[in-house]
Chain A
């Protein structure tokens, strides 16, 4: 069984992110594998182990994204591919989906393509479904429980109203949510293997496609208005007295 895990490199979730001269800056914070994508890698590795398959990690990004791919390799992926091309600057989610779909086709005979639910930088969360649409594959989004058996997949999807059980034939695209279970840590052996891995770079020419036209653009990046709040500490002799004052303050804000 051939399995792809699509991952993205993003600034660490603890980064203090600000807009400087209209550009996003995360200071000295490290770039890491998107936290949601670790669940996708974990799900891919579990399928590999269950079905004697191989997992190929794919990322689109600059040279630095090799580090995120190395994390995936250290977790246990068999190989990694970086898609990098100057012409991809400013690409939107639909363009990303076109590129990832082309890469999945070039890998060939892929049964399962795993994604995290969204990237914590752009927060759009639509690239998995768009990739499925480009490929013409079923989309099993937000999967919390995954069972693959005899050419089909049955998943429990985590939706607003609870869980929805859905099945589809392979090949299929799956996105994975945190309910799936904790991703494994890279092993010592895995880290050693990853540090020595040669990661090939595919350009758009390698994929045999032109640069996708971005229809979505983001001309302005802003810092949110700073919240001018001074915290009023409520004090009193007893918990009841404090609670009584606090309740009055909250009621006076007319938010109930």
Chain B
């Protein structure tokens, strides 16, 4: 199958899932073409070759400096019309979803979104994707071409990078008509991105549950609760830092104002599939489990032995997170030599 991989990037830095898509492309057969749009991003072509692309289509134009849906979709659709790929793979990012959806309209085709498994059947791909936040899986197909597929991050392995490997670089022209103007960015606080993280440490309601802490004077009841929770999340953050992990949270913790929404894991937050997920003071509501139950190893630390989180956990500690989490941080610090 003639497979394209769209390399999604932010200011020239590719999302890891862009390279993972090259791994997925290798399972579909013959030639792999990486498609790269932007301005001053030729270095991404070099990396795409090293990860296994045979060819790169590079559209560079000042109008493509910032991602904007309309010119990016129009450029992708124009190229696909000219070259007729069988499959276009994109990472399931905010940009990938939008771009895939719009290109599908232009090309009278369809999108298989947030796919975690691919099989080949003749010239068709059969994709497996979670629905209902992973409570179910569906096998889905697209009867038109190109079959546009967005791939969930970490669902496919990162390909091996062969330094110095090269291929055919073809420069192509861009469609530049845009309906939106990008006025600027506020970048997120640093730290590891939840959806790309190999390890996630999350906190829940239990983070506010330390009666031994005395909040500073002058806080009302709600402010005192949030202050307590922030001390709890500080411990969660320290454990995350020793493990190079991202910090997650339950919806209860987000709704109570303990931590910003960007950290929410679950059905109405982010879906994560790390190798290790440590849930601290999270009871494990069905909506939370939906966002993390496919993690490879789940560890639960909770006071309540009957909490549902223990039903999906490989290891559990029935205890106070304010005692266990700092002790665990210290234990890892010693054992991992940090």
Whether A159 and B267, one on each chain, are in contact in the complex, defined by CB atoms closer than 8 angstroms, is: no
Chain A's closest residue to B313 (CB) is A231
Whether A178 and B336, one on each chain, are in contact in the complex, defined by CB atoms closer than 8 angstroms, is: no
Whether B276 and A255, one on each chain, are in contact in the complex, defined by CB atoms closer than 8 angstroms, is: yes
Whether B141 and A232, one on each chain, are in contact in the complex, defined by CB atoms closer than 8 angstroms, is: no
How close is B105's CB to chain A, nearest CB, in angstroms? 4
Any A CB within 8 A of the CB of B281:
no
Whether A246 and B98, one on each chain, are in contact in the complex, defined by CB atoms closer than 8 angstroms, is: no
Q: Within the assembled complex, what's the spacing in Å between the Cα atoms of A181 and B319?
A: 34
Whether A35 and B136, one on each chain, are in contact in the complex, defined by CB atoms closer than 8 angstroms, is: no
Whether A167 and B181, one on each chain, are in contact in the complex, defined by CB atoms closer than 8 angstroms, is: yes
Whether B193 and A160, one on each chain, are in contact in the complex, defined by CB atoms closer than 8 angstroms, is: yes
How close is A105's CB to chain B, nearest CB, in angstroms? 15
Whether B136 and A18, one on each chain, are in contact in the complex, defined by CB atoms closer than 8 angstroms, is: yes
Q: Within the assembled complex, what's the spacing in Å between the Cα atoms of A40 and B33?
A: 38
How close is A229's CB to chain B, nearest CB, in angstroms? 6
- Chain B neighbourhood of A214, CB < 8 A: 110
Whether A219 and B313, one on each chain, are in contact in the complex, defined by CB atoms closer than 8 angstroms, is: no
How close is A164's CB to chain B, nearest CB, in angstroms? 5
Any A CB within 8 A of the CB of B85:
no
Q: Which of A94, A130, A156, A229 contacts B312 (CB 8 A)?
A: A229
What sequence of 0s and 1s flags, for each residue 100-142 of chain A, a beta carbon within 8 Å of any chain B beta carbon? 0000000000000000000011111111011011100111111
Q: Within the assembled complex, what's the spacing in Å between the Cα atoms of A224 and B298?
A: 17
Q: What number of residue pairs across chains A and B have CB atoms under 8 A from each other?
A: 267
- Chain A neighbourhood of B297, CB < 8 A: 250, 253, 255
Whether A231 and B327, one on each chain, are in contact in the complex, defined by CB atoms closer than 8 angstroms, is: no
Whether B130 and A123, one on each chain, are in contact in the complex, defined by CB atoms closer than 8 angstroms, is: yes
Whether B131 and A250, one on each chain, are in contact in the complex, defined by CB atoms closer than 8 angstroms, is: no
Whether A165 and B182, one on each chain, are in contact in the complex, defined by CB atoms closer than 8 angstroms, is: yes
Whether A124 and B111, one on each chain, are in contact in the complex, defined by CB atoms closer than 8 angstroms, is: yes
Any A CB within 8 A of the CB of B140:
yes
Any B CB within 8 A of the CB of A248:
yes
Any A CB within 8 A of the CB of B123:
no
Q: Within the assembled complex, what's the spacing in Å between the Cα atoms of A225 and B312?
A: 13
Whether A219 and B286, one on each chain, are in contact in the complex, defined by CB atoms closer than 8 angstroms, is: no
Q: Which of B104, B132, B330 contacts A120 (CB 8 A)?
A: B132
Q: Which of A97, A161, A169, A243 contacts B187 (CB 8 A)?
A: A161
Any B CB within 8 A of the CB of A205:
no
Whether B137 and A17, one on each chain, are in contact in the complex, defined by CB atoms closer than 8 angstroms, is: no
- Chain B neighbourhood of A193, CB < 8 A: none
Whether B315 and A250, one on each chain, are in contact in the complex, defined by CB atoms closer than 8 angstroms, is: yes
- Chain A neighbourhood of B260, CB < 8 A: 179
What sequence of 0s and 1s flags, for each residue 154-194 of chain B, a beta carbon within 8 Å of any chain A beta carbon? 00000000000000000000000001111111111000010
- Given contacts A215-B142, A243-B330, is CB(A234)–CB(B94) below 8 Å? no
What sequence of 0s and 1s flags, for each residue 231-249 of chain A, a beta carbon within 8 Å of any chain B beta carbon? 1111000011011101111
Whether B332 and A247, one on each chain, are in contact in the complex, defined by CB atoms closer than 8 angstroms, is: yes
How many A residues touch B, CB cutoff 8 Å?
Answer: 82
**A126, A179, A233: residue with the most chain B Cβ atoms closer than 10 Å:** A126
Any B CB within 8 A of the CB of A189:
no
Q: Within the assembled complex, what's the spacing in Å between the Cα atoms of A94 and B105?
A: 7
Chain A's closest residue to B178 (CB) is A138
What sequence of 0s and 1s flags, for each residue 145-163 of chain A, a beta carbon within 8 Å of any chain B beta carbon? 0000000001011111111
- Chain B neighbourhood of A137, CB < 8 A: 179
**A129, A168, A224: residue with the most chain B Cβ atoms closer than 10 Å:** A129
How close is B253's CB to chain A, nearest CB, in angstroms? 14
Whether A239 and B324, one on each chain, are in contact in the complex, defined by CB atoms closer than 8 angstroms, is: yes
Q: Within the assembled complex, what's the spacing in Å between the Cα atoms of A242 and B327?
A: 8
Whether B299 and A178, one on each chain, are in contact in the complex, defined by CB atoms closer than 8 angstroms, is: no
Whether A129 and B138, one on each chain, are in contact in the complex, defined by CB atoms closer than 8 angstroms, is: no
Q: Within the assembled complex, what's the spacing in Å between the Cα atoms of A220 and B141?
A: 10
Q: Within the assembled complex, what's the spacing in Å between the Cα atoms of A169 and B276?
A: 45
- Given contacts A178-B268, A243-B327, A243-B330, is CB(A24)–CB(B105) below 8 Å? no
- Chain B neighbourhood of A234, CB < 8 A: 315-317
Q: Name the interface residues of B70-112: CB closer than 8 Å to any CB of A.
A: 70, 73, 93-95, 97-98, 100-102, 104-106, 108-112
Show 26 A/B contacts (Cβ-Cβ < 8 Å), sorted by A: A19-B136, A121-B132, A126-B113, A129-B97, A130-B102, A133-B105, A138-B179, A139-B98, A141-B98, A159-B10, A163-B186, A165-B182, A166-B180, A168-B179, A215-B108, A215-B142, A217-B140, A222-B136, A222-B139, A224-B137, A231-B314, A243-B331, A246-B315, A246-B328, A255-B276, A256-B276
Nearest first, the 3 A-B pairs at minimum CB distance are: A126-B101, A243-B327, A138-B179
